[in-house]
Amino acid sequence: MSEAEQVPASAPEAAASAVLDALNATDSNGTEALNATAKFVATPEGTALAYGSLVFMALLPIFFGALRSVTCSKSKELGENDYDSGFRNAADMPETITSRDAARFPIIASCTLFGLYLFFKVFSQEYINLLLSVYFFVLGVLALSHTMSPLMSRIFPASFPNKQYQLLFTQGSGESKEEIVNYEFDTKNLVCLLISSVVGVWYLLKKHWIANNLFGLAFALNGVELLHLNNVSTGCILLGGLFIYDVFWVFGTNVMVTVAKSFEAPIKLVFPQDLLEKGLEASNFAMLGLGDIVIPGIFIALLLRFDVSLNKNSRTYFYSSFLAYIFGLGLTIFVMHTFKHAQPALLYLVPACVGFPVIIALFKGELTEMFRYEESSEETKEEATESEKKDQ
C-alpha cells in the first residue's frame, strides 16, 4: 500500500516473520499505509518527484530481480551442488513456493500481523524496535552484499587477487559428523560485505531515508530473485489470497495501521515530498511497501521464465505484466489522491498483473500452455517419486 504522510526521518516502519515470510508476511500486503500525522501540503513538483521516484525505484528490483531469477532457475537445473553454477551456498538457492504454501500464506500473514498488534499492546515499543533494528541490520547487510556481488565481479579487474575462503562448522566426529554451517566466499564478497556494513551502521545510527531505501531495494531484489512460484496457478492463488488480505486489513480494521506505526525497519521505500525545499534532511515522505513490489514481482519473474521456456526469442508475457504493474501502481496513486485515503495497492496491482498476461495468452492461444508450465520443487520431486513407487 502507498500513502503520503509526515513522519520523522528516524522512524521507518517494519514487519518481520520467519524465513519465507521475512519479506512478505506483514509488509507484503501493504503495512506501510499510514494516515497523516500532521498536515503537510506538498507542492505539485514535490509530489510528482516523490511518486515518480517511488515508481522508478519499484521497477528496478522487479526488472533486474526477474532477470536474475532466470539465471537462478538455469543454475538450479544444472545441479544444486554445481559450484560453477554460482550456487555455492544454500542461502543463494531459490525458494520454490508451491500451491500449498500460497494457500497458507495469507492465513499465516494474518496471524503474524495480529500477533504483532497484540505484542505492541503488551510490551514496550522501544525495546521491540531495538531488537528489530539489530535484526534488520544483519538481514540488510547480507541482502545488500548479495545484491552487489555480481556488480562487483564486473567492476574488479582480472588482476585483482581474489582468494577463496570457507566457513565451516560441524557437529560430532567421525561418521556421525554433521555440517551445521558451510559457507564459501571470496575476497570480492568480503569487499561487498564491508561496503554493506558501512550502509548498515549508517542506517542503525541515523535511520536516514537513503540508507532505508538501499536496504529496501536489496530486500525487494533478493525476494524477486530467490522466491520462485512453481506455476501460474500458484501465483494466482497467492495473489488472490493476498488481494483479500490487503483489502480486509486496510479497510476493515486499524490493525495494519497500528502495527505499521509502531515498527522501525527498512521494509518500505520512501521519498520526501519536501526534498526541493529541505534537501536530504527532508522528512515528509511518500512511501510504498516492499510487499507491493515483491508479491507482484515474483509473478512477473515467473512469466519471464515462462517466456524463456517457449524459446521464441520473445518476452511478451514479461513485458505485458511489467507494463500492467506500472498501470496498476499509477492507478493506486491516482485513486489515493482523488479520494484522499490510503489505498491497498494490491487491490489494483493484482487484477492488472494477472489480467493483462492472461488476456494476451487467450488471444495467442497459449493459455493452456501457460497454466501447464511447471517449475520443479522439492515437494513436486517427492510427489513424483512416490507416484513412481506406486506405479511399480
Q: State the catalytic residues.
A: 246, 292
Contact 261, 128 (CB under 8 A): no
Identify residue 259 by its one-letter amino acid code. Answer: V
Close Cβ partners of 187 (under 8 Å, ≥ 6 residues apart): 160, 161, 162, 163
Cα–Cα distance, 307 to 317 (Å, whole number): 7
Cα–Cα distance, 215 to 227 (Å, whole number): 18
Report in angstroms the alpha-carbon separations of 170 from 92, 313, 350, 386.
Answer: 20, 46, 45, 32
**HSE-up of residue 337 (Cα within 13 Å, Cβ side):** 13
Close Cβ partners of 104 (under 8 Å, ≥ 6 residues apart): none
Report in angstroms the alpha-carbon separations of 141 from 43, 99, 205, 252, 383.
Answer: 35, 31, 14, 36, 37
Helix count and strand count (H, E) for the chain: 13, 7
Phi-psi region at 41: left, alpha or beta (left = phi > 0; alpha = psi -120 to 50): beta
